[in-house]
Amino acid sequence: MREDNGKKNVILCVQLNRYKSNIMVADISKAPSPAAAKKARPPRWLSVEEYLKRESGHINKHEYLNGKIVRMPYARGPHNEISMNIGTAIKNAVRGLPVKYRVFSSDQKIYFPELNQGSYADALAVSEKPVYWDGNELLLINPLLVVEVLSDSTENYDRQGKFAKYKTLASFREYVLVKQDKCHVETWFRLEPGLWQETIVTDPKGSIALKSIGCFLSVADIYENIEFPVLPSTPSAPSR
């Protein structure tokens, strides 16, 4: 019996060597690691309702891009302070006007129904009464004026991609862009569909006109307590 088993083992080894190339194809040593398999897994697309539920349990803010969520970068102190300054300045400026305007902070979500996308602004104002896409007063769809404080990581997006999104909302009339590292405030006012008027103010003692809500803001109020970084001085050319 032992001799028979030995012969069988020899035959089996020969057969394994003969088909070694076929066996190597299924070599488990070449299978992807669990980490690699997890990384290659396609992203899960979320509905708006799932996004809102997920967002309510997160400390970080996320944009909603037609099923995909993208984490928003952290904001620096000057960014947050300017956002608060300009929101407060708008709130004070519209108080007492014949038309009622409501001012919202950077925690207010804005939804773009045509794009099935959602985002946040640094400040915004609506005329009379906010209109929400959902029944829980989470996704606002009628901003009249939107403010974005620019940073190095978001400036291109705020100027182009985000501006284009706001333009899909019929209520949107004015866009305010504020730089945080120097005195520079831009306003874009919609004269008519497809035609926008740009105004730039760089004078610290100047003011900006918000035509959509009929008031002025002091540049000094916008940049209250903000210290701009000191740029290195350019050496003067030697005299001859």
Chain segment 71-119, per-residue pLDDT in tens: 888 888 999 999 999 999 999 999 989 999 999 999 999 999 999 999 9
- pLDDT above 60: residue 168: yes
pLDDT of residue 175: 98
The tokens 């705020």 sit on which residue?
158
pTM of the predicted structure, to 2 decimals: 0.77
Give the number of other CB atoms < 10 A from CB of residue 83: 21
Encode pLDDT of 182-229 as tens digits: 999 999 999 999 999 999 999 999 999 999 999 999 999 999 999 998
Name the helix (H) or strand (E) containing 189. strand 185-192
* Averaged pLDDT, 54-75: 85
Helix, strand, or coil (residue 122): coil
pLDDT of residue 42: 62
In 28-184, the DSSP E strands lie at 62-65, 68-71, 101-104, 109-112, 117-120, 123-127, 139-140, 145-150, 174-179
Most confident segment among 2-6, 13-17, 116-120: 116-120
The CATH homologous superfamily for domain 73-222 is tt1808, chain A (3.90.1570.10)
pLDDT of residue 25: 36
Name the helix (H) or strand (E) containing 53. helix 48-56
The domain limits of the chain are: 73-222
- pLDDT above 90: residue 148: yes
- Dist CA 93 CA 85 (whole Å): 12
- pLDDT above 80: residue 19: no
Confidence of residue 173 (pLDDT cuts 50, 70, 90): very high
pLDDT of residue 16: 37
Helix, strand, or coil (residue 84): helix
- Dist CA 115 CA 166 (whole Å): 11
The pair of three-digit structure tokens given for residue 197, joined into one six-digit string: 């008027």
pLDDT of residue 40: 53
Encode pLDDT of 21-57 as tens digits: 333 333 434 445 555 545 556 667 888 888 888 888 7
**DSSP letter, residue 57:** T
Confidence of residue 9 (pLDDT cuts 50, 70, 90): very low
Task: Please state whether beta strands 109-112 and 139-140 pair in parallel, antiparallel, or not at all (unpaired).
Answer: parallel
**DSSP letter, residue 97:** -
- pLDDT above 90: residue 5: no
